[in-house]
Amino acid sequence: MTQVLNLDSLKTTRSVIINGKERAVSGMTVHQFLTADDFEAKLRKATKQRDQVEMLIGQILEFVADTSREELVSLDTNQLKALLSFIRGDDAKPEGKKSGE
């Protein structure tokens, strides 16, 4: 008997609501994982906080579908921090309603 490991079944589906619209949040790919150290190094080298925020917004746009830069810059800083944590998987128990509630 042939055993089959269905990797598609291991994908987790996550989403975030921004401005009342639910958007899919993609998981980190192996490539993104391998380049994460490079990104963190560039982030540390950025001396201006404005440059750091722009880099973080660019990173968020890679992970959150159907979201614009304009929508992200309209968030307050607490929302932006929460979104970054959620994308990175640092959220043990995200606050707010789950989809379908």
Question: 56 vs 95, which has greater pLDDT?
Answer: 56
Residue type (1 letter), 75: L
Residue 91, pLDDT > 90, answer no
Q: Provide the pLDDT for residue 16.
A: 95
Q: Provide the pLDDT for residue 6.
A: 95
Q: With the CA atoms of 58, 62, 64 and 67 taken in that order, what torsion angle do they form, in degrees rounded to the nearest 10?
A: 60
Residue 101, pLDDT > 60, answer no
* In contact, 60 and 84? CB cutoff 8 Å: yes
Section 68-80 average pLDDT? 94
Residue 92, pLDDT > 50, answer no
Q: Which of 89, 79, 37, 35 is nearest to 57 (CA)?
A: 79
Instruction: Give residue limits of the domains in the chain.
Output: 7-88
